Structure 1
């Protein structure tokens, strides 16, 4: 699987956990906003599904991708659809470190407070 950020984002938009974690290394380290690091593909899958359960839907709008060696930085506007029907769009930056074609480290920088306000 190539370093296909669009496919990774599309899997999240579909809430397809299996397709999402297929982009991750087995021992991936993931930090989402201000949460504690999650280690391992299955643990990331559980944490991701738990987050998705708090929202109705999500759409990633990729604004820019910058690649340097094994590091890819992605700038998004992410549109979250809340359970109450409201939509909140947040600026998000994700710094991804790759081992080959799989993400070994994912650090998502986002302020999620407006999503739950």
Structure 2
């Protein structure tokens, strides 16, 4: 994960630490650790695709998705919102299976419940270059 371009961070220090740990689980493709951040009834949606309901299905879908590329690094630009509902603007640097590097602009909206678990994730990015 890269944080040197982070301009605006509206999260508390505690929530920011939580979020960077969450993103690190994604960057390392550690599905077991990532799962500990999600509520059982979490819903994830990529772009205009149908929402994916439930922690177990989300983890299965992400496990499959993460096999389609070698590496991912989040490059944080801005985090807007509060500790329970926030938006991340980032550059996502991928290394494809063919070794080509691809950078995609992305926005992720995240909501957490009173226990700090993620209840909703909405991701917006054009992944076409990743699979071209």
User: TM above 0.5, one fold?
Assistant: yes
TM-score scaled to structure 2, two decimals? 0.82
Q: In structure 2, which of residues 17, 23, 26 is the aligned counterpart of residue 12 of structure 1?
A: 26
RMSD value over aligned CA atoms?
1.4
Which structure has the greater CA radius of gyration?
Answer: 2
Please list every run of at least 4 consecutive aligned residues from structure 1 whose deviation after the TM superposition is greater than 6 angstroms.
none
For 1:54, the equivalent position in structure 2 comes to: 68
3-state SS in 2 of match to 1:19 = helix
Superposed displacement of residue 106, structure 1: 0.2
Kindly tell me the number of residue pairs found equivalent between the two proteins.
116
Conserved 8 A contact 1:33-1:112: no
Superposed displacement of residue 107, structure 1: 0.1
Distance 1:15 1:69 in 2: 24
Superposed displacement of residue 34, structure 1: 3.5
Distance 1:25 1:86 in 2: 35
TM-score scaled to structure 1, two decimals? 0.92
Which region of structure 1 is more displaced relative to structure 2, 3-12 or 74-83?
3-12
Superposed displacement of residue 69, structure 1: 6.5
For 2:47, the equivalent position in structure 1 comes to: 33
Asked if 1:113 is matched to 2:128, the reply is yes
For 1:29-108, list aligned pairs within 5 A.
29-68=43-82, 70-100=84-114, 101-108=116-123
Unaligned runs of 5+ in 1: none
Unaligned runs of 5+ in 2: 1-13
Distance 1:54 1:33 in 2: 18
